[in-house]
Structures are given as structure tokens and as C-alpha cells.
Amino acid sequence: MTEFKPLVFSGVQPTGNLHLGNYLGAIRKFVALQENNDCIYCVVDLHALTAQLVHEDMATQIRSITAAFLAAGIDPKKHIVFNQSQVPQHAELAWIFNCVARIGWMNRMTQFKDKAGKDREQASLGLYAYPSLMAADILVYRATHVPVGEDQKQHLELARDIAMKFNMDFNDKIRPTGLGIDIKVGEEPVHAYFPMVEPLIDGPAPRVMSLKDGTKKMSKSDPSDLSRINLMDDQDAISKKIRKAKTDPDALPSEVDGLKGRPEADNLVGIFAALADKSKADVLSEFGGQQFSVFKPALIDLAVEVLAPINAEMRRLMEDPGHIDAVLRDGGERARTRAEKTMNEVRDIIGFVR
């Protein structure tokens, strides 16, 4: 029994501005994972077409996510940072996966149902096939670990189902190539070409909620800009938004239990804890019994301390789009080499002539 070589892959769509939730929930995790892993981080521009076809600011959005990656501390030399459309092998493997995935599987995807809404006839075929392209993003590198939010769990399960069916259906073709690996799926031994990807969901990353409603996720589509802290917000905007954040009239509790039924207080304490790399209990042992008039200024100072350098670096990078594009081209080239190796193996397994 051997194991697939560990490889981290994740993707972020170039739509809308990145906010604190994206930073604490995803990008900061990406940064931490670089320490001990080989990582590939992708700006998934092909996915951005699934909900809306024409984007006036596509290039700017791609560069802005890339700038956020770099400003947060992702090292594009040690790892790979690129945009998806530079590696056509993603779309090619997605086609093959379209023929592996069953319509019944796709029909279960809750994100499609949410995003398509009532008028499903008008949704693009791409929106429906979205999870198949996502599986291809990951598996074209035979990546093993995928840091994502809770909302992407079902898509990763689909990626496992696709990998499993490919491994099973092509079992007799994979064996003679010597490209497969004996793994265990549960108790069952499987000869696998594609690994069973593992989501990396937990960790200290909090669910960051809206500053205006502690029961709703912080979201780039919320009409009120006061509901979120954008990574491009400057010091004044950050402090204004935290000052205006919804709270309740009570002092902070001394124990985490006391946050129950107080979603806004819970959210602000959670944000403080995440920014300070502490637990909520630590934060409450410091601020328990204090009013928001004391806690909010402390949170503003901390948020500015953590976010201002990222913000400044993003702005600096965005002034030199040529540099960002060069990073993406270099990453794209290295990604392509790896992806083409997989595709050649897949072509051989399927039996295409080349």
C-alpha cells in the first residue's frame, strides 16, 4: 500500500471584491499550508463565466485576486500561482469527467439549485457542469488536499465520486500502465490513478458574518458595503465599518457560553480571535465585562494592524499589472507542464491514439 504524494490545490473565483471572510477563511489558510506542503493556487477564471458570461473587468479581477494571494504571503516561486484559462488541460479533463459523472449526481448539487434559482431553464450548461470542472482543476494535478469553505464540501464529494468511478471503470487499463497506486477507500483496496481528495475545512478559521446582521455570512453580494470589510478598504473605511457594526447593549461575557443568542457579539469576538490568532475564550478573558465602546476600538486597532500591510501591498502590486501578469504566466507554464503529464497518462489509459 502506498500513498499519493501530498499536494494542496485550491481555487478562488475572480468575481467581486475579496473581503475579510475570504481572507480569514481561505487565503490565510493557503498561506499557512505553504510551510509544509507543495501548493497550487489558482484563480479560476473559467468558473467565473458560469454565472455571468460577460465581465467588463475580468482582467482586473484576476489580477486583484492574484495581488491578494501575493500580498497575504503566498510565494509564487516556491509554489504555483496561476489563472485557470492558461492551462487548457483543466477544460480538457473536465470534458472527460463530464462523461464520467452521472446526471443523477449533478442533480443533487445544492449550489446549482441555489445559483440557478427558479428559472433553471435559463441557467448556463456551464453552471450545471461547474463541479465537474472543479474536480478536473484538482485532479489534473492529482492533488490530495483541498482547503475550502464548508459550502464546497459537496463539490469535493463529487470529485471523489468521479475519481472513484474513473479508477473502477478503467481498472483493467490502469494496471498495465503501472501508473496506478494501491490505496484503501474505507476498508476496500482500490487500484487508483486519481487520489481521493480530502477537504481541509476546519482549523481556526471562523465563519465571518455580516457586520450588519450576525446571522448572515459576510458576502460580496450584500448590497450594503458596511456589512463587510474588503481587503482593499483603507484604514478609515475599516474603522468606520467596525464603529458602525451592529451590536447589542450588553457588556461582553467572560465565558464563550455567554455569546449564545448574541450573534453580533459572537461574530466580533470571533473576528478578533482570528485576527489575533487566539481562541474566543482568550479574547473574553481579556475583554469580559467590557462594553463595546472599549472592545470596538481595540478591534479596529488590531484589524488595521493586520490588514493595512496587506492592503498597501495589494495597492502597490496593482500599480504594476505587468508584474502580476508575469507571475501568472510563469505559474501557468509550470502548471501546464504538470497538467500535460497527467493528460498524456489519461489519454493512454483511455486508449486515445497520440
* Candidate residues 10, 66, 89, 230; the one interacting with ligand TRP per rule CB under 6 A: 10
Q: Is 137 a binder of ligand TRP (CB under 6 A)?
A: yes
Distance CA 199, CA 145 (A): 6
3-state class percentages of the chain: helix first, strand second, coil last, to nearest 5? 55, 10, 35
Q: Is 13 a binder of ligand TRP (CB under 6 A)?
A: yes
Distance CA 159, CA 143 (A): 11
Q: Is 148 a binder of ligand TRP (CB under 6 A)?
A: yes
Which CB sits closer to ligand TRP, 137 or 266? 137
Q: Write down the catalytic residue from 115, 165, 173, 278.
A: 115
Q: Is 64 a binder of ligand TRP (CB under 6 A)?
A: no
Q: Is 162 a binder of ligand TRP (CB under 6 A)?
A: no
Which CB sits closer to ligand TRP, 65 or 229? 65
What amino acid is encoded at 299 in this protein? L
User: Where in 230-259 is the site for ligand TRP (CB under 6 A)?
Assistant: none
CB of 199 to ligand TRP, least distance (A): 9
Q: Write down the catalytic residue from 165, 173, 212, 217.
A: 217
User: Where in 325-344 is the site for ligand TRP (CB under 6 A)?
Assistant: none
* Interface region with ligand TRP, contact rule CB under 6 A, candidates 3-11, 48-56, 275-283, 297-305: 3-11
216 is catalytic: no
Comparing C-alpha atoms, which of 309, 307, 305, 302 is closest to residue 287? 302
Distance CA 279, CA 124 (A): 43
Q: What are the strands of the beta sheet with 8-12, ordered from one edge?
A: 80-83, 39-43, 8-12, 145-147, 198-200
Q: Write down the catalytic residue from 220, 246, 280, 341.
A: 220
How many C-beta atoms lie closer than 10 Å to residue 108's C-beta?
A: 13
Q: Is 346 a binder of ligand TRP (CB under 6 A)?
A: no
* Candidate residues 7, 8, 11, 174; the one interacting with ligand TRP per rule CB under 6 A: 11
CB of 214 to ligand TRP, least distance (A): 22
Would you call 139 helix, strand, or coil by DSSP?
Answer: helix
Would you call 174 helix, strand, or coil by DSSP?
Answer: helix
173 is catalytic: no
* Interface region with ligand TRP, contact rule CB under 6 A, candidates 10-18, 73-81, 223-231, 253-261: 10-18
Whether residue 110 contacts residue 154, with contact meaning beta carbons closer than 8 Å, is answered with yes
Which CB sits closer to ligand TRP, 10 or 247? 10
Residue 69: C-alpha distances to residues 1, 51, 181, 189, 339 (Å): 36, 23, 33, 38, 22
Which CB sits closer to ligand TRP, 197 or 314? 197
Which CB sits closer to ligand TRP, 220 or 341? 220
User: Can you spell out the DSSP letters for 267-287?
Assistant: HHHHHHHHHHT--HHHHHHHH
Which CB sits closer to ligand TRP, 93 or 146? 146
115 is catalytic: yes
Q: Residue 119 is placed in which grid cell?
A: 428559472
User: Where in 167-196 is the site for ligand TRP (CB under 6 A)?
Assistant: none
Comparing C-alpha atoms, which of 148, 119, 161, 192 is closest to residue 47? 148
Catalytically active residues, by annotation = 115, 217, 220
Please give the residue ranges that form the binding site for ligand TRP (CB under 6 A).
9-11, 13, 44, 47, 134, 137-138, 146, 148, 152, 155
